[in-house]
A = this chain, B = another copy of it.
Amino acid sequence: MSPALDQLCIDTLRMLGVDMVEKARSGHPGLPLGAAPMAYVLWSRFLRHNPTNPAWWDRDRFVLSAGHGSALLYALLYLTGYPELTLDQIKRFRQWGSVTPGHPESHLTRGVEASTGPLGQGMGNALGMAIAEAHLAARYNRPGHEIFHHTTYVLASDGDMMEGVASEAGSLAGHLRLGRLIVLHDDNGVTLSATTSITFTEDVTARYAAYGWHVQRVRDGNDTEAIARAITAARDVTDRPSLIAVRTVLGCGAPDKQGTFQAHGSPLGPEEVARTKEHFGWPLEPTFFVPDAALSHYRRAVERGAQAEEEWRARFRAYESAFPDLAVELVRRFDARLPEGWDEGLPSFPASPEGMATRKASEGVLQSIADAVPELVGGSGDLDSSTYTWIKGRGDFESKERSSRGVQGTVGGGWGHAGRNIHFGVREHAMGTSVNGLVYHGGFIPFGATFLVFHDYMRPAVRLSAIAGLRSIWVYTHDSIGVGEDGPTHEPVEQLAALRAMPNLVDIRPCDANETRWAWQVALEAHDRPTAIVLTRQSVPTLDRSVFAPASMLRHGAYVLDRGASAGDPEVILIASGSEVALIVEAAELLKNAGIRARLVSMPSWRLFEEQSAEYREGVLPARIRARLAVEAASPLGWERWVGLEGAIMSVNRFGASAPGPEVLEEYGFTAQRVADAAAALRSRARAG
């Protein structure tokens, strides 16, 4: 490699980025110009990847946390030979139907490891990937058989570094001592609106050192050898993640705009482009010019990658011979196939008027799944003792150092990185992003748990799980004003509606222990989308399924609960979810005594119900019956969809209050008598109307 060839390759990357943004008349030219040298060094000298098989398990991961620099990533994918990322796609940057959208989308573009753009997310995704690698290595590698040994690299911007989610991820990664996580900080001192001098003057490397990271600085972002030395040093540190702050110039080479925010988020404009190309000694025409020497140098990645994977495959074949069961399990995990009969041992709960909290039922189901499904890992935001999501007997994911010391507080100590319980701490947002990172990595079905009200703290990560189509499982307990004493800050009201508003997310609020079992089943079987399982703090009756419809009907989203009971057309339909189903069951008794025929509908999931056939939905909610009452201890928003303008909604239209849960529920009107009265009034109105 000659310095001249290096420079040519770097400038090719730069100029492709500039031309892409210019042609699209939209995008961020500054990052490719400034960060091209470090990206080139990383991709040409360090990154172990196979362009013709982006799904190779043991590839290094590269996360562009600064997703607005997507042009750089697409240029790298094109230059190193990812077949789908053609020059034509490069030219169709940010256009309808291209695989080169404004920000990287993993479900659209092979080779893109994570959907990024909202700042800070990639840092947490990378944390999840590093957890994944460490866990797989600890669990599956055997002496002489190192199947997993890859590194997660991140390219992050100043904006990433400012976001709280990245701080959380940094703190947790340091604590977990994830030695195969390396972050390159594109330290250019400019953000979209200004230089960082007006917003961000902290000492970033000192902060990461405080997190327990190994930190380095590269003073000149154009010094490829210094960058290479720093990456090498970072790789040599195996007991801590590494941060390399690389000082760059945003928009480097654009004579008038470099180092200013004008180079950040808009095209340079034809004149500045011309002068930039002049600066780099680049031909003005043709645009999208790729020198043969540069292309062929980059394209060596294809051969190198194929060879690296082939060497690995040879190792894996040896592993397969030595440990056939483990190998089969791994193939299954990476194929995202559930084990045969995984659900056979799932518990079924006997009818019980006292019942149990659905969070408690979930605990039992979770244990059973965890036994059968080794790829299930997860944890909570410091709420294990409340969310009941700690997997028994499967160890805590923790650093080897801590593990070997048997530090006080270890719940399932001694497992090191092989433990399956991840203690995220009070870091809901990093939990969300790293759960997503585990899915991006492959080989895992991860969950993250917290109180429903704290969904708000991690909502951006949940949104990305929905956009990217990830099987992330979100477990949300303490799901209503039934929480009681903790008061309005801890009582969700609007969160259910907010979940239902999110495209591609499956909302499930099971009504009892047996529906909870099916909620988990649906979540595991959802291959390409996330599920939110919403659970009660308080006990709810376990319905007698010999009287009521089977809980497996949850799969349909909503179903008639009391099929047998409804002789003759119902006069009124009562619809509820979660803890309020018990209430409509009780109210139905009162109505029956009053001679009113009520149909009961359990509606645990709007999304699943919407996906049923029109016939099925008509069967549950016949158009002719408009006397419909919805009962749910949450925001009424959206319930008119099911009850129409003639129906009624018993809901919570204000924030909660602090008092014992049953008292709060009663004060807010959630009593069987109030439900029965409202239903009777509806039926009278329908008769009169």
Contact = CB atoms under 8 A, between A and B. Distances in A.
Contact of A486 (B117, B168, B171): B117
Contacts of A261: 385
A653 interface: yes
Interface in A411-431: 411, 423-427, 429-430
Contact of A199 (B382, B408, B453, B497): B382
B498 A501 contact: yes
Contacts of A430: 164
A54 interface: no
B67 A115 contact: no
Interface stretch (A131-139, A243-251, A572-580, A636-644): A636-644
Contacts of A210: 202-204, 206-207, 209-210
A194 interface: yes
B659 A94 contact: yes
Given A175-B202, A191-B382, A503-B494, A484 B426 contact: no
Contact of A103 (B423, B427, B493, B658): B658
Nearest to A610: B653
Interface in A392-419: 396, 398, 402, 407-411
Contacts of A550: none
Nearest to A623: B645
A442 B239 CA distance: 49
B118 A457 contact: yes
Contact of A504 (B193, B204, B211, B655): B655
Contact of A202 (B166, B171, B195, B504): B171
A220 interface: no
8 contacts: A94-B658, A95-B658, A102-B658, A172-B199, A192-B385, A203-B212, A637-B638, A640-B644
Contacts of A640: 638, 640-641, 644
A7 interface: no
Interface stretch (A79-87, A283-291, A301-309, A460-468): A460-468
Nearest to A396: B198
Nearest to A206: B210
A193 B450 CA distance: 12
Contact of A212 (B171, B202, B453): B202
A159 interface: yes
A310 interface: no
A380 interface: yes
B117 A384 contact: no
Contacts of A117: 486-487, 489-490
Interface in A178-213: 191-204, 206-207, 209-212
Contacts of A410: 197-198
Contacts of A457: 118, 163, 460
A637 B118 contact: no
B197 A174 contact: no
B207 A211 contact: yes
- With most chain B CB atoms within 10 A of its CB, the pick from A166, A202, A384 is A202
Contacts of A645: 623, 644-645
State the copy count for this chain: 2
Nearest to A117: B489
Query: Which are the 10 A-B pairs with shortest beta-carbon distances?
Result: A164-B164, A195-B409, A101-B658, A199-B425, A167-B167, A96-B659, A117-B489, A206-B210, A494-B501, A497-B501
Contacts of A467: 488-489, 655
A654 interface: yes
Given A95-B659, A103-B658, A195-B408, 11 more contacts: A98-B658, A162-B171, A162-B427, A164-B430, A175-B201, A192-B383, A198-B410, A454-B460, A467-B489, A497-B497, A623-B645
A542 to B, nearest CB: 25
Contact of A163 (B101, B163, B168): B168
Nearest to A100: B658
B489 A67 contact: yes
A425 B168 contact: no
Nearest to A384: B193
A621 to B, nearest CB: 10
A443 interface: no
B487 A426 contact: no
B168 A164 contact: yes
Contact of A168 (B167, B174, B497): B167
A500 interface: yes
A201 B487 CA distance: 31
Contacts of A331: none
Nearest to A168: B164
A657 B96 contact: yes
Contact of A200 (B118, B171, B193, B201): B171
A293 interface: no
Contact of A384 (B194, B411, B429): B194
A471 to B, nearest CB: 17
A386 interface: yes
